[in-house]
Structure 1
Amino acid sequence: MSHIASLMMSLATKEGVNDTAVEGIKVFRSSAYGSRGPMCYSQGILIVGQGKKRVYLDDKVFDYDPQNSLVMTVPMPVECETFASVEEPVLVLMIDIDMGQLNQLIRLMDEHHKLPKNLHESRQSGYFVAVNNEDIECCVERLLLALQSPLEAQVLGKPMLQELLYRLLSLPNAAPLYALALSHTRLSRIDKALSFLHRNYGHSVEVEQLASLVNMSPSAFHRCFKEVTASSPIQYLKKIRLNKARELLQEQKLKVKEVAIEVGYESAAQFSREFKRYFNQSPGECARL
């Protein structure tokens, strides 16, 4: 086990998601193989200490592992496969993106003429894979060491997160991270629409309404939305509704009809059909897990 993996293991005392002494930083641990299945990734930075995750997104397949981190600049429904075992559990450091820190760093980089060229014109997806160079690995190791002590975590945690963001912004493929913070980029506009969707998924939402929200024509909005999320707006909304429905079924133990209404379905029968098609199990079977 590498030193980084060992430090993550000491913070991950139980299976699943473990909180740390710094808000916005968690450690995920799983000791079992997870077959390919749908889930929703939140906006954030995912750094693997041990094991491997494989992501299926539209027609793209990519891994993140101890050599490659995943930066999600917008929340996205994906399909994920987990490679882990009892002998070698997967360990993932999960870090929320602090927009205040990101904005401050980008202002400084702009002053030093370090912004990527053609940022406003280039196509931007809602994620990128970051190769863990020596600077990033050193920063992650020091952050994990600080997290071992509540005092050090409180004193050093936030500055180290800022350094990590800087190291990621210095990578050649970090344009999506810049675009998230800069106003009027395609990605920042789509992020605004996604925030609206995540607040209002239980209501009727039209593409024209979303396009108007971000001052784009419906056709341009639809095209840019798919560039960023690999889904159409309607597909994305459906996936968000179904992922939220699974949470409600498993955590709040609501009835199927109640969940269908909560996530915006008028017909419980249609909800059940689409849920089973997406998760390969009925809502009732999901609730009993």
Structure 2
Amino acid sequence: MTDHLQPHLDLALRHARSGMTVTPIPRLEIGVGQTTSGTSPCLYRSMICFILQGSKDVTIHDNLLRYDAEQYLVSALDLPLSGQIHDAGHGRPYVAVSLVLDPALLAQIASTMPLIRDADAPGSGIAINPMTPPLRDTLLRLLALLDTPSDVPVLAPMVERELLYRLLQGPQGRLLRHIARPEGALGRIRRAVEWIRENHNTRLRIEALCEASGMSRASLHRHFVALTGLSPIQYQKQIRLQEARQLLLSGERTASDVAFAVGYESASQFSREYLRQFGAPPVRDVRQLRQAVGSPAMH
């Protein structure tokens, strides 16, 4: 961690507990944890992630991306990935701040900026870029509002707009502009992803997915794989398993009940795929997670 981020870190640790903390600032969360052993499946939402301490490895398209406090990450859509967090050593935890993106707000801000004609589709749904002093300063003012919660309703939207403005000006401005454009390839794939998430427990119908996205079968498959690293069917399986894990963690439902709830027709197939995905059978995996400190889905 650089000294520039010490004030950010102090604020984050003052207002966060171990695991994931939802803050009073809309869509802003703080993750705190220790090094995880090996990579673990996680779901990245459409968001910006700023690491304040430690680092993280993320795998997409079989490519390993590593980022730390010197960079920020942009995720353009909900992405099931494999990740591993690394703390800063000597008992100092991994600390990160994530802001879920609001496409309507991005579009509103982008409409006030000079028109830039981008190529039709970005090459990937995730990107990492260097942190800049203006971004650090704006992020600090956003985090500082946690000390004065009465200021959040008025000032947080203003600071969020500035933060998004800075990001739109940066290297990932193109990717963020695509998020704000529902008619582009990324906007169409975001609609396909939304359809899969809303219908993850039913059989995937490519025709319905084409209709939801407004794309041909060939175009849908090409752009979906390019942006997510997965085919639509693989994506649905990842979402089902992530949802199953959360259901198992949140209640006393049996693995069989959860299997059928997320759309599996066979409990044995569910157990096999769960083991392949998370490295342990459902019951043992959930028991280990409950005993562990921190959160396996941390950004």
What TM-score comes out, normalization by structure 1 length? 0.93
Deviation, structure 1 residue 153: 2.4
Q: Contact (CA 8 Å) 1:124, 1:187: kept in 2 or not? A: no
- More displaced 10-residue stretch of structure 1: 17-26 or 220-229: 17-26
Q: Secondary structure at the match of 1:288?
A: helix
Give 1:262-281 correspondences, 5 Å limit: 262-281=261-280
Q: Pick from 7, 27, 39 the counterpart of residue 42 of structure 2.
A: 39
Is it true that 1:118 corresponds to 2:122 in the alignment?
Answer: no
- Show the counterpart of 1:6: 10
Q: Contact (CA 8 Å) 1:130, 1:168: kept in 2 or not? A: no
Is it true that 1:82 corresponds to 2:85 in the alignment?
Answer: yes
Q: What is the one-letter code of the residue matched to 1:215?
A: G
- More displaced 10-residue stretch of structure 1: 19-28 or 186-195: 19-28
In the alignment, the residues of structure 2 paired with residue 87 and residue 153 of structure 1 have an alpha-carbon distance, to the nearest angstrom, of 32
Q: Secondary structure at the match of 2:50?
A: strand
Q: Contact (CA 8 Å) 1:32, 1:86: kept in 2 or not? A: no
Q: Secondary structure at the match of 1:45?
A: strand
Change (3 A) 1:34 1:163: farther
- Show the counterpart of 1:218: 217
- Show the counterpart of 2:99: 95
Give 1:37-186 correspondences, 5 Å limit: 37-84=40-87, 85=89, 87-109=91-113, 112-113=114-115, 115=116, 117-120=117-120, 122-186=121-185
- Show the counterpart of 1:206: 205
For CA contacts below 8 A with separation 6 or more, give which structure has more relative contact order.
2
- Show the counterpart of 2:188: 189
Q: Secondary structure at the match of 2:73?
A: strand
Deviation, structure 1 residue 99: 2.6
Deviation, structure 1 residue 34: 4.4
1:118-154 CA distance string (max 9 Å, x none): 332x444212213211110111111111222112223
Q: Any gaps of 5 or more consecutive residues in structure 2?
A: 289-299
Q: Contact (CA 8 Å) 1:34, 1:83: kept in 2 or not? A: no
In the alignment, the residues of structure 2 paired with residue 167 and residue 231 of structure 1 have an alpha-carbon distance, to the nearest angstrom, of 31
In the alignment, the residues of structure 1 paired with residue 246 and residue 20 of structure 2 have an alpha-carbon distance, to the nearest angstrom, of 15
Q: What is the one-letter code of the residue matched to 1:118?
A: D
- More displaced 10-residue stretch of structure 1: 260-269 or 245-254: 245-254
Deviation, structure 1 residue 249: 1.0
Q: Contact (CA 8 Å) 1:249, 1:286: kept in 2 or not? A: no
- Show the counterpart of 1:30: 33
Q: What is the one-letter code of the residue matched to 1:61?
A: L
Q: Contact (CA 8 Å) 1:76, 1:229: kept in 2 or not? A: yes
Deviation, structure 1 residue 37: 1.2
In the alignment, the residues of structure 1 paired with residue 132 and residue 119 of structure 2 have an alpha-carbon distance, to the nearest angstrom, of 24
Q: Secondary structure at the match of 1:163?
A: helix
Q: What is the one-letter code of the residue matched to 2:67?
A: Y
Deviation, structure 1 residue 54: 0.9
- More displaced 10-residue stretch of structure 1: 51-60 or 190-199: 51-60
Deviation, structure 1 residue 71: 1.3
Q: Contact (CA 8 Å) 2:104, 2:180: kept in 1 or not? A: no
Change (3 A) 1:286 1:45: same
In the alignment, the residues of structure 2 paired with residue 141 and residue 240 of structure 1 have an alpha-carbon distance, to the nearest angstrom, of 34
Give the count of matched residue pairs: 283
Q: Secondary structure at the match of 1:198?
A: helix
Q: What is the one-letter code of the residue matched to 1:90?
A: Y
Q: Secondary structure at the match of 1:38?
A: strand
In the alignment, the residues of structure 2 paired with residue 284 and residue 87 of structure 1 have an alpha-carbon distance, to the nearest angstrom, of 30
In the alignment, the residues of structure 2 paired with residue 63 and residue 5 of structure 1 have an alpha-carbon distance, to the nearest angstrom, of 20
Percent sequence identity over aligned pairs: 30
Change (3 A) 1:74 1:52: same
- More displaced 10-residue stretch of structure 1: 75-84 or 203-212: 203-212
- More displaced 10-residue stretch of structure 1: 235-244 or 177-186: 177-186
What TM-score comes out, normalization by structure 2 length? 0.90
Q: Secondary structure at the match of 1:125?
A: coil
Q: What is the one-letter code of the residue matched to 2:237?
A: K
Q: Contact (CA 8 Å) 1:56, 1:62: kept in 2 or not? A: yes
Q: Secondary structure at the match of 1:205?
A: coil
Deviation, structure 1 residue 45: 1.3
Q: Contact (CA 8 Å) 2:35, 2:84: kept in 1 or not? A: no
Change (3 A) 1:88 1:283: same
CA RMSD, Structure 1 to Structure 2 (Å): 1.6
In the alignment, the residues of structure 2 paired with residue 252 and residue 71 of structure 1 have an alpha-carbon distance, to the nearest angstrom, of 32
Moved over 3 A (4+): 31-34
